[in-house]
Amino acid sequence: MRDERVIIIGGGSGMGLALAELLVAEGARVHIAGRSEAKLAAVARNLDVTTSRVDIADEDKVRELLAQPVDHVVVTAADVNGAYNPIREFPLKAAWDVLGTKVIGPWLVAKHASNVMKKGSITFTSGVAAYRPSPGSSMLGTANGALEALARTLAVELAPIRVNVVSPGWVDTPIWDDLAGDAKHDRLSAMAAKLPAGRVGRPSDIAQAMRAVMGNEFITGTTVHVEGGHRLV
């Protein structure tokens, strides 16, 4: 990855930040885009990257982000606020927000990245909710499944650009502070006890899988599951 240009959308924390750290250590030129100015400022203080504030569902911002040649684009953006609701109580706006971040946003990224890429890779992030649904996850499961279908289609349409998906399971990231609050430790521990791997994921687990997909020129149109065996239990 030395001197290759990589854009990570949603890299201000968690899995995206872990990937940025890994790639910077390899000598890549990394640009991190996200919605939180505070997170971006903190990353820029501690890591040799450039940053910009971008809402992935805003086409003008995505077009501006992808105006220059790039070798790899990775999307880890997620918005869990309002993503879990019983369907009878699910606000329409919250449903559109989930689709905007998880499906339309990545679609916009591919649309504009394809104009400045000759080869290289685009990597999306879905999730185990598409395979192990739970009550209240109707839109998240739908969005994750749709994203994988999108990647397969784009792998054919945009070839030789490779398009893949990494599908994490439960990963100990700051998102869980919003999802579970004080119950975070108990919920993650309960899941760890169920998983064949014996623990929940770490951001570095997902980053390593993304790096492998980016670097392997014979992987495209594929979903790589990194979930400790969650689909099996």
91-114: average pLDDT: 96
DSSP 3-state assignment of 192? helix
Residue % of the chain over a pLDDT of 70: 100
DSSP 3-state assignment of 16? helix
pLDDT of residue 70: 98
Q: Is residue 233 part of a domain?
A: no
Q: Is residue 229 part of a domain?
A: no
> In this model, does residue 83 exceed pLDDT 90?
no
Q: Is residue 59 part of a domain?
A: yes
Q: Is residue 48 part of a domain?
A: yes
Mean pLDDT taken over the chain: 95
Q: Is residue 217 part of a domain?
A: yes
pLDDT of residue 176: 83
Q: Is residue 104 part of a domain?
A: yes
pLDDT of residue 75: 97
Domain interval for residue 203:
5-223
Cβ-based neighbours of 182, under 8 Å, separated by 6 or more: none
Q: Is residue 173 part of a domain?
A: yes
**Catalytic annotation, residues:** 126
> In this model, does residue 5 exceed pLDDT 90?
yes
CA 225/CA 130 separation, integer angstroms:
11
pLDDT of residue 175: 81
Half-sphere exposure of 144 (CA within 13 A, CB side): 26
Q: What is the pLDDT of residues 13-71, one digit of tens each?
A: 899 999 999 999 999 999 999 999 999 999 999 999 999 999 999 999 999 999 999 99
Q: Is residue 10 part of a domain?
A: yes
pLDDT of residue 27: 97
- Determine which of 70-84, 97-111, 125-139 has the lowest per-residue pLDDT on average: 70-84
pLDDT of residue 93: 94
Contact between residue 158 and residue 110 where contact means Cβ atoms under 8 Å apart: yes
The CATH code of the domain that includes 127 is 3.40.50.720
Q: What strand order describes the sheet that includes 162-168?
A: 50-53, 29-34, 5-9, 72-75, 121-125, 162-168, 223-226
The total number of structural domains that make up the chain: 1
